[in-house]
A and B are shown apart, each in its own frame.
Chain A
Amino acid sequence: MEALYITLALPVCGALLFALVRDARLASTLNLFISAASFVSTLWLAIQVLSHGSMHSTHFLVDPFNIYLLVLTTLVGMTTAIFSRPYMQHVCAEGRCSIHRMRLYHSMYQAFMFTMLLALSTNNLGVLWVSVEGATLATVLLVSLYRTPEAVEAAWKYFILCGVGIAQALFGTVLLYFAAQHVLSSPEEGLNWMILYQHASSLNPTVMGIAFVFLLVGYGTKVGLVPMHQWLPDAHSEGPTPMSAVLSGLLLNVALYAVVRIKILTDGALVQSPHPQMAGHLLMGFGLISFLVAGLFLHRQRDIKRMFSYSSIEHMGLATFAFGIGGPLATFGALLHMLVHSLTKSAIFVTVGHATHIAGTQRIEQIRGLIRTQPEVGWGLLLGVAAIAGFPPFGLFTSEFLLLTATMQSWPWLTVSLLLGLGIAFAGLFRHLHPMVYGKAPQGQQAVRVNMVPVALHLLLVLWLGLAIPDFLSNWLNLAATLISGKGLL
């Protein structure tokens, strides 16, 4: 548990520290160190979980389901910090953002990391809500960091839509607490996930059903499920690129994690009711619609970051759909999908950040000939998109293959729509990608200083996961799948 406390304390200290540090260069270096230290401490935590198994106390809970997400969160936090250092210096040099706003940027970066880690590791569903809402509050000023009319509009939309959405989740949490109070001997523990899990079968199914709908709509807004996704493309495209990387790579995962934790309880409560699969069916519906709609929207995008944010909606929709199917195979696939998607998507956003600096714009039709101007950026984008589109041998191929197999087993006729959706998304990505990478570079386009280490690291990890999933990870995913679906895969 000490490792967890350190992991949580580091970003808090960082957020407070950066409020005081005036020197932007120093702050960005320190930001990198703090993020790296968080990563090391979650690794330590992971080793403890490996040797002692899952652990929980009154306030915190670390089990196979959240430990891999914790490590992922700090890893992406660290690599994004590596990318953010030169990127934000470039932005400041361009004059899009004043030096003193960098204080806000670094402080909120760490505050955001803290809310993510707290949301993942807390054992209390109320604290989970507070930290997911806290994530909105921490990032909203970052979305409007450039203060352009578009950025302010995007931030306002983000604030209002997520605020309203997350309010529904709080209502759901109150209902859940209400259901728990009639079951537990000490009502104070009514939001403790571990205790609720043990008593899930005696929770009132009617109340739990209603609570789940509210919680799904609430946290689903943050996952970016259609039709509550309106904020997501705007916030991703107008905010600074490191923010897009962490929003896509981390926030969406954490929101989906919250939905799945609630689904476990709801499934337990509804076992005896006339609709035991209600939660699963709702997830399948929302997931499939998000998957298909986002795939179609990919085709008509003109802004590169906007396009990849629709791709995030698409992949989160796919994972949601898979959690909805339930069953060990689909759940295993969905857990793996969350991991590889977030690694790949943050790598893509890092590359996109460099690409927009080369072209000086985010508009797709003006980004041309990346591979000639700067081969590493061009190749990074090409490989990243190949990975995200589900090409073998990358990890997304593995997870999507597992999801397709699971769909064929339980809902064979839905396989058609999944394949169709994958095809549409593939076409949507590549029709824009091809000219950006291979097209004729405009005159005078010059290479910029880039750091491709984060991209290479992420893509190598995704490649590794596609070729061979290490034993300890498959074991964790299997245990998590057992927790979620009731049966193990391996």
Chain B
Amino acid sequence: MNLAQLGLVEQSIFVFAALALLLSFLLLFQGRLTAMVHVFAWQGFLLALLTATVASVEHSHHLFLSAALTLMLKGLMIPWMLHRLIRKLHLERHQERLQHQALVMMAGAGLVIFSYWVVLPIARLELANTRNIVALSLAIVQLGMLLMVARRQVVAQVIGFMSMENGLFLAAVAATYGMPLVVELGIAFDVLVAAILFGVFFFHIRDSIESLDVDQLTQLSEEER
């Protein structure tokens, strides 16, 4: 596939998806929570833009709706909620010391290659240009998981969780022009409820272990109890 042969619209879709992946790497790298929330908001914004582009090509009303929903939910509402929580928990200046930073970034690059490898058999089917986007979205999902593994701070873990959700949304929009409307609304509802519950949990965790570091959550294990 040659990028230059594609139309302007396809090219811009690729650029948006690639930028979203880049933002995932930024999330992985960023130690300050408020900055992470901003990066996450930008990712949501890019996804909304991408969805709107696809919608205008496909003349699909329901994709426009889901673009608006994404913008509202992931670009504005969830970042706003996270900001408020960070202020309430007095974490504005919280800066996490990232451990094994180089290693994590290398692992991230490895995951991107892995995603391309997983999607390789689909590419052989020559089903349009979807291969790249499916691989990119899988990479965003994997990077979200890596972020959750690498970070010890609960708010950072939640941002990782939400960026995984972004990757899934990208897969749905790019590969299949969005899921059926019922499903999309259902997913949006679940994401919203999850975001609210996470907020509740921050306070529970802080009240029970007086910290927001998951390394302190070690009561339950198979070791001698």
Contact = CB atoms under 8 A, between A and B. Distances in A.
A204 B204 CA distance: 47
A137 B137 CA distance: 24
Contact of B176 (A124, A127, A159, A190): A190
A141 B200 contact: yes
Interface stretch (B20-28, B100-108, B189-197): B189-197
Contacts of A173: 179
Interface residues of B, number: 51
Interface string B146-179: 0010000010010001001101100110011001
Contacts of A147: 204, 207-208
Contacts of B172: 174, 177
A313 to B, nearest CB: 13
Given A127-B186, A144-B204, A155-B201, A150 B161 contact: no
Nearest to A235: B220
Contacts of A144: 201, 204
B222 A181 contact: no
A163 B225 contact: no
Contacts of B182: 124, 126-127
A163 B194 contact: yes
Interface residues of A, number: 53
B7 interface: no
Contacts of B183: 124, 126-127, 129-130, 191
A14 to B, nearest CB: 18
B145 A164 contact: yes
Given A163-B161, A204-B125, A210-B121, A153 B175 contact: no
Contacts of A157: 217, 220
Interface string A357-388: 00000000000000000000000000000000
Interface of A: 124, 126-127, 129-131, 133-134, 137, 140-141, 144, 147-150, 152-157, 159-160, 163-164, 167-168, 170-171, 173-175, 177-178, 181-182, 187-188, 190-191, 204, 206-207, 209-210, 234, 237-238, 297, 300, 302-303
Given A137-B193, A160-B157, A206-B122, 20 more contacts: A126-B187, A130-B183, A137-B197, A144-B201, A147-B208, A156-B205, A156-B214, A159-B198, A160-B161, A164-B148, A171-B168, A174-B171, A174-B176, A178-B130, A178-B134, A190-B180, A207-B121, A210-B118, A237-B220, A303-B225
Interface of B: 118-119, 121-122, 124-125, 127, 130, 134, 137-138, 141, 145, 148, 154, 157, 161, 164-165, 167-168, 171-172, 175-176, 179-180, 182-183, 186-187, 189-190, 193-194, 197-198, 200-201, 204-205, 207-209, 214, 217-220, 222, 225
